[in-house]
Amino acid sequence: MNRYGDNLVFEEINENTIQMSGFDHYRCGNDFIDPSGGPFIQIGSDIGRYFNDNKIRKVKKINITEEGIALFTV
């Protein structure tokens, strides 16, 4: 849950693709995505903390889709 009360969902699509959804508004740039209320995620961010397996998941690429934001990891 972010600071605005949105319940963001990080779903592992496959070994190298995570889909982030659960928000309506966001800012984005060449190497970052920032949903209203957070979290701010940029290339190089470790999003492994949003999972319970202690696996490091560093963002390598960000792709905006109709279903949400796809985060491609190393």
Pairwise CA distance, residues 53 & 2, whole Å: 21
**The whole model's pTM is what?**
0.87
49 Rama class: left (phi>0) / alpha (psi -120 to 50) / beta:
alpha
Sheet with 32-35: strands ordered across: 26-29, 32-35, 41-42
pLDDT at 65: 85
Q: Name the average pLDDT for the chain.
A: 92
Q: How confident is the model at residue 68 (pLDDT cuts 50, 70, 90)?
A: confident
